[in-house]
Structures are given as structure tokens and as C-alpha cells.
Chains A and B, each alone.
Chain A
Amino acid sequence: MSRDFEWPELLFLVGALRWTILLSIVAFVGGSIGGLILAVARTSSYKVVRWIAQGYIGLIQGTPLLMQLFLAYYGLAVLTGLRLDPWPAVTLAFTLYAAAFLGEIWRGAIQAIPRQQWEAAAALPLAPAAQLRYVILPQAFRIAIPPTVGFLVQLIKGTSIASIIGFVELTRAGQLIVNVTFQPMIVYPAVAALYFVLCYPISLAALRLERRIDADLGLAQRR
């Protein structure tokens, strides 16, 4: 006997959506903290600091997210005997993953600030931390908005991979519903629509933020 895709099934998907949102938020916030540290480390004047950050980013970017997820879930258990539940395992993996990508995006944004701005700040004379805080990072932030939001949207959709280790977020919930309704052509479009409803407003909001910043600074509209 099979069920149809009706209100209770849709509500089940919407309920699972909150795990997608929660995982995305935790990964993005945690990844932002790590990413900021990595970005500053990547532009540091100390070679060793640069190398460590670069090595980490290279490792994460060069390996599939799925493998990182397996390592956090199964690998950690095998290596250390520490058996993580799906939730801590996926948040750990996604946070480490987001940190590497955000770090690299923000490094690019920091390096896009003209050298003269550093020099003008140093001549003022602001200390290195104040140069970053008052001069470099606010400008880098504006530059970083489009790629950061692009990555955030990728991250939200990417959380679907967490379904593989049995973490019930939106995609996993969709699979479960398909298993009982045998209506993939209805369920999966509904799942996709829910991702869209989540992601599209974020892209729009980012565009508005960019325009507002440009208007505040007296810059011509670029688009």
C-alpha cells in the first residue's frame, strides 16, 4: 500500500527544511570565522603562517566534500574510536569545508584592494590590525559580497550531500517520501522548489545590499 504526496508529506519536507537551514547557518557562521582567519593568514607577512593556511585550503579544496563527510563520520570513529552522531559529523565537515572556500574568496577580495590603501593606512599611521579593521576589510567586504553569496547558495544546496550518512535534511526527507509514495516526479520537484524558495531570496538580498552600499558611497550604479 502506498501513500500519495499530500499535505502531511509536504509538511514533512518543510519540517526537514529546517535542518537544511540550520546546517547551512552553522556551517556558514563557523566557516566565516575560520575563513576570516584563513584569509588574513593567507595574506600574512609570515611565510609559515601563509603556508599553513595555504596547505589547509589546498587539502580541503582538492578533496571531495563527500570524502570529508565520510572521514568526519566513519573515519573519526575508526581512527580515534570517537563515534560522532550524524549532526555533529555533518556540521564539522561542512564548517571545515566552508572555511577553506570562504578563506580563499576573502583572500582574493583582500588582495584586490590597491596597495596604496595599505600604504595610506600605514602612513596615518594605523597599526596592522587597525589597517585591516578600518581600511582593508570593509572594502574587501563589498568586493566579496557576490562570490560569498554565490558560495552560500552552493553551500545550502550542497548540504544535500549530508543525506548520504543518514542525516535527515530536505533531500533525505524527499527520498523517504519517495520511498512511501513512489511519486518521484512530484516529490523531487517539490524538494527542488523548496531549495529555490530558500536560495533565491538570498541572491536578491545580496544584490540589494550591494546597491545600497554603492549608493551610500556615492558610486555609480554598476548594473
Chain B
Amino acid sequence: MPILALRNVVKRYGTHTVLHDVSLDIEAGEVVAIIGRSGSGKTTLLRCINGLEAIESGSIVFDGAPLPAGGAALRELRRHIGIVFQSLNLFPHHSVERNITLGPTITNKMPLDEARKVALDVLREVDLEDKLHAYPAQLSGGQQQRVAIARALAMRPRLMLFDEITSALDPELVGEVVKVLERLAMSGMTMALVTHEMGFARRTADTLVFMHQGRVWEKGPPRELFATPKTAELESFIQAVLEPND
């Protein structure tokens, strides 16, 4: 049974339909990379999965239970789904440690001592244990994103969502974040990523999803899709991202 099952999901903003009839399964331990042009609905899809956006029709089922519309039931489910955004993830007025312990202590009622140990553990996973007492403004963009990943991991999620988390970074900082993502993927974490890092998608993802005009246009093993795209849209997209100046 897939850990996440989307069936015929439709999302509209007013009269504009962003997601048309999207169906997608994610198995436990699977790494799914979602690619596509801007406006293709990939970010919206990710936001629908943890209930940041309400869907018009269709169903989203996580671990056998339909996604609640809101309130305490949705919060309960979100404890198991971590998300990292493109930017401004961290709370600038809290230290790295407090950023990480907030979720466990407030949401999970974990004693602070224990949460601090968790903070150190997850910071080690992203190689930033020396930044425990730093404030976000004292970190580079890449370090901030790694702390954001650590913060999500502190809740011990069963599914991690990443929404273009390297897109706002300076090019030289992308590598350190991608390295953390690859390590996370190797550890068996179930992950869905919206990404523009095609090299990463090809190397690490089990499944590549190409979205176009709010639909899952093509889906399959990354090497296959990159080597032999079945649709003209994916072919031209791959050309555009691999040879941007041609």
C-alpha cells in the first residue's frame, strides 16, 4: 500500500485550474522528484499534500486515511509530514536550537532536555552541530536550508516534502544542500521534491514526475525519462534545462 495516494486531485484558484485530475502514488522509501516549467502546478501539488492548500475534488490519502480539511486533525497528520520551503523557513528571532525544539516541545510535548538532544542529533545529520546556538541571520543561505531540513527531521516525519529548496540559493551553496538531500534519500526517507536540480533528480530519484499544465504529463524512472522522453513537452523541457543557452 502506498504511503501517499493522490486520486483525481483538482485544485482551482478562482476560475484558473492549477491541478487537473492528478493521480500519484508514493511508496514508503520512495524518492519522487517533480519537475516541470514554472506554473505547471508542481509547487501547488506539494502544498496540497500537507493541506496548505485545500483541493476542490479528488482525494489525498496518507497512510490509509484521507487528509483532513483542517484543525487539530490536520495538525495531527502534519506531525508525520515535514516540509521545507524555498526560503524564509527559519524563525529569525529564535536560535537554531530553539527553531528545532519548538515543534517537539510545543506540538509533541517532549521535555526540553530530550528535545535538545534531538536537536543535536538532527543537526549532526546535516553537519551543523556547531551552529546550535547561532541565529539564522548568522548562517549562510545553504546552512539555513540545512537547519530547516534538520528542524523538519526533528519531528521524525514519515514523509518529507521539499519545495524548490535550492532555488533561492547562490549557485555555490546548492551543493551542500543537495548532499544532505542525497544522504537523506540513502537513509530510506520517503521524499517528494520539487526541484530544478536535474543532476540530483537523475542520480537520486526513484521516480521522476514531469508536470505540464497542471497534469502529470510523464512519469517513470529518471534515466528512462531523460533518455527517451515520450512527449514533445518533456523533450523540449529537458533540452531547455540541460542546454539553457541554445
Task: Give the contacts of A127-155 with B (CB-CB under 8 A).
Answer: 127, 130, 134-135, 138-139, 142
For the complex, give the distance between the alpha carbons of A190 and B90 in Å.
Answer: 51
A124 close to B (CB within 8 Å): yes
B52–A119 CB distance below 8 A: yes
Q: A114-B88, A117-B88, A120-B88 are in contact. Are A125 and B79 (CB under 8 A)?
A: yes
Tell me whether chain A's interface is mostly helix, strand or loop, or mixed: helix
Which of B106, B138, B151 counts the most chain A CB atoms within 10 A?
B106
For the complex, give the distance between the alpha carbons of A130 and B93 in Å.
Answer: 15
A120–B93 CB distance below 8 A: no
**In the complex, which residues of chain A have a beta carbon less than 8 angstroms from the beta carbon of B93?**
138-139, 142, 217
Q: A119-B85, A120-B85, A135-B91 are in contact. Are A218 and B138 (CB under 8 A)?
A: yes
Interface size class of A (residues with CB under 8 A): 20 to 34
**In the complex, which residues of chain A have a beta carbon less than 8 angstroms from the beta carbon of B91?**
117, 120-121, 134-135, 139
**In the complex, which residues of chain B have a beta carbon less than 8 angstroms from the beta carbon of A217?**
92-93, 135, 137
A219 close to B (CB within 8 Å): yes
**In the complex, which residues of chain A have a beta carbon less than 8 angstroms from the beta carbon of B103?**
124-126
Which of A116, A123, A130 is close to B50, meaning CB atoms less than 8 Å apart?
A123
> Could you list some 10 contacts between A and B, CB below 8 A?
A120-B89, A120-B148, A121-B91, A124-B78, A125-B79, A126-B102, A127-B72, A130-B107, A218-B135, A219-B137
Which residues in A have some Cβ–Cβ distance to B below 8 Å? 114, 116-117, 119-127, 130, 134-135, 138-139, 142, 216-219
Q: Considering the complex of A and B, which 4 residue pairs feature the smallest CB-CB distances, nearest first? A: A125-B78, A116-B88, A218-B138, A124-B103
